[in-house]
């Protein structure tokens, strides 16, 4: 199953917040939007994570996240998007698979890959994304076990390290570095 695990991510690292916001799908619309995509693209499990500065799709399925796959995925999921908009998101998607995808979601939930490193809100957002996926019937055993492990690991990162003692934003780090250049 690990060879069928993929993450498609849009974060502060590859897009501005307004472009990320256009990918948000309200909870009440997710079943109608995701069920046809799951069926058409033979996706076994899916988790949709949407925060103020990230949208991620965790997918379990036999197809690799190729350009053709991504194009079909976005056409089906966002029927109002123009072809240019779809091409934009396909070109800017950060796609990781297999063990790298697991490493990625661990970094996300532990806030190591957050705009504000050390913030704790992301672990709750990951948990809520899983709850929604489970409630809507999008997830199965792989994502259930993965998220259980991810949450446990993120909790350990927060309690056994000093990462949450002084959350630091990327902007504040850049500012500190600029000040030191005088």
- Residues annotated as catalytic (active site), given as ranges: 52
φ, ψ for residue 159, nearest 5 deg: -90, -30
- CB-based contacts of 70, cutoff 8 Å, min separation 6: 8, 89, 90, 93, 95
Task: Please say whether the beta carbons of 32 and 77 come within 8 A.
Answer: no
Lookup result for tokens 């993929």: 6
Lookup result for tokens 């799709």: 57
- CB-based contacts of 130, cutoff 8 Å, min separation 6: 47, 139, 143, 144, 147
Question: How far apart, in Å, are the Cα atoms of 150 and each of 49, 120, 124, 126, 156?
Answer: 14, 14, 12, 9, 10
Question: How far apart, in Å, are the Cα atoms of 48 and each of 30, 134, 180?
Answer: 9, 11, 40
């Amino acid at each position: 199953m690990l060879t069928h695990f993929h993450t498609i991510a849009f974060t502060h690292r590859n897009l501005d917040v307004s472009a990320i916001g256009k990918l948000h799908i309200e909870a009440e619309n997710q079943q109608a939007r995701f069920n046809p995509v799951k069926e058409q693209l033979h996706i076994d499990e899916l988790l949709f994570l949407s925060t103020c500065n990230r949208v991620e799709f965790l997918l379990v399925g036999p197809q690799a996240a190729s350009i053709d796959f991504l194009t079909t995925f976005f056409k089906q999921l966002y029927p109002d998007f123009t072809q240019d908009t779809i091409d934009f998101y396909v070109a800017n998607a950060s796609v990781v698979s297999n063990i790298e995808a697991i490493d990625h979601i661990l970094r996300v939930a532990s806030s190591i890959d957050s705009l504000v490193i050390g913030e704790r809100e992301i672990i709750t957002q990951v948990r809520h994304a899983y709850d929604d996926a489970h409630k809507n019937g999008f997830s199965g055993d792989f994502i259930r076990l993965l998220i259980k492990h991810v949450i446990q690991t993120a909790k350990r990162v927060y309690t056994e390290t000093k990462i949450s003692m002084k959350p630091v934003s990327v902007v504040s780090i850049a500012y500190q570095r600029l000040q030191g250049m005088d």
